[in-house]
Chains A and B, each alone.
Chain A
């Protein structure tokens, strides 16, 4: 990371403030008013709309290998996804995925 200290703190402060405002929005400012159905219908999908797109390039073209697809990392990602879908357990999925990464790296030397 080559961001300056000032930039990092700007991100931290604004992200903290923005997140608090999202949390405070209805209980604090807008009060007991219903959101229109179409807004709720889009909000429901924000996490699954943002996060997969964010990580897909990181998995396919990892920076650590100079952007070359890497068998160990692809296997690790597949394992984490499979364990997550199967167990719905975040911690098991992280450890399983990293375990497969180390295993394949060890086997392929």
Chain B
């Protein structure tokens, strides 16, 4: 095996445990999107083109409310803004790879492939760029491929689950499950609290404008609380 193949398989092994997270999550998306009224082609189209769970759930939640296209896109993309952060942090490591590889790496950039790769790049600064790319695709293979398969199974199942199961509520429940582990610092908690308070207080505004205002207020809150914690020497 060449060193690149070996590196690919090392990445594959390191990414493999994520299957346990991705499969139920993908199935849940398939079920929820189908219940919301998307057909199989639409569910699979979204999962294949977007590959970003939280943002797909956000889009579905707003599409269920028949929100305007602009609001659906702005919200779902805002949920994905963190991808720009990942991209910025990967750039020093894989920015020198050929364009097509970077374009493909961008398509497959998800929370798990990012977390897995960046940890390895920091651990082994001696890796060459082709090895880093091989490792990246190794990590992403057991994440993204099961994601498509699980969504498909979920979509097929979703069409068979009777309405008594109240799957309408699986969307908010899934979001709570995604958000809860993110409450790592006081700044994150404060941002979430402001987001909830402002959106409920302004819920009467049309076009989901309440959500935009709540998000901006919450981001500013998070940033300010972080600065405040830094000044008090309680930010690591």
Query: A residues touching B (Cβ–Cβ < 8 Å)?
Result: 1-3, 5, 7-20, 22-28, 30-35, 38, 40-64, 73, 76-77, 80-81, 83-85, 88-91, 93-94, 97-98, 101-102, 105
- B92 close to chain A: CB less than 8 A: yes
Chain B residues 147-202 with CB under 8 Å of chain A are 165-166, 168-183, 187-188, 191-196, 198-200
Q: Is the interface of B mostly helix, strand, loop or mixed?
A: helix
A44 touches B198 (CB 8 A): no
Q: Which residue of chain A is the closest to B25 with respect to CB atoms? A: A90
Are B21 and A38 interface neighbours, CB within 8 A?
no
Q: Are B83 and A23 in contact (CB under 8 A)?
A: yes
Taking the closest CB of chain B, its distance from the CB of A99, in whole angstroms, is 10
Cβ contacts under 8 Å, A84 to chain B: 176-177, 179-181
Residues in A neighbouring B171, C-beta threshold 8 A = 55, 58
**Which of B5-13, B51-59, B119-127 interfaces with chain A?**
B51-59
A45/B222 in contact, CB under 8 A = yes
Contact of A50 among B58, B69, B106, B223 (CB under 8 A): B58
Indicate if the CB atoms of B73 and A50 lie closer than 8 Å.
Answer: no
A49 touches B88 (CB 8 A): no
Q: How far is the CA of A52 from the CA of B54 in the complex (A)?
A: 12
| Contact A53/B198 with A28-B99, A32-B91, A47-B54 known, Cβ cut-off 8 Å | yes
Chain A residues near B141 (CB-CB < 8 A): none
* Residues in A neighbouring B76, C-beta threshold 8 A: 15, 19
Most chain B CB inside 10 Å of its own CB: which residue of A45, A50, A91: A50
Instruction: List, in ascending order, chain A residues with CB within 8 A of B178's CB.
Output: 47, 51, 90
| A73 and B116 alpha carbons, distance in the complex (Å) | 36
Q: Give the residues in chain B near A41, CB-CB below 8 Å.
A: 222-223, 226-227
Cβ-based interface call for B17 (8 A): no
Report yes or no: A80 in contact with B176, Cβ–Cβ below 8 A. Answer: yes
A-B contact pairs, 18 of them (CB 8 A): A1-B37, A2-B66, A12-B49, A15-B55, A19-B55, A26-B91, A31-B95, A32-B92, A35-B85, A43-B84, A44-B82, A50-B218, A51-B175, A53-B198, A63-B65, A77-B173, A90-B181, A93-B173
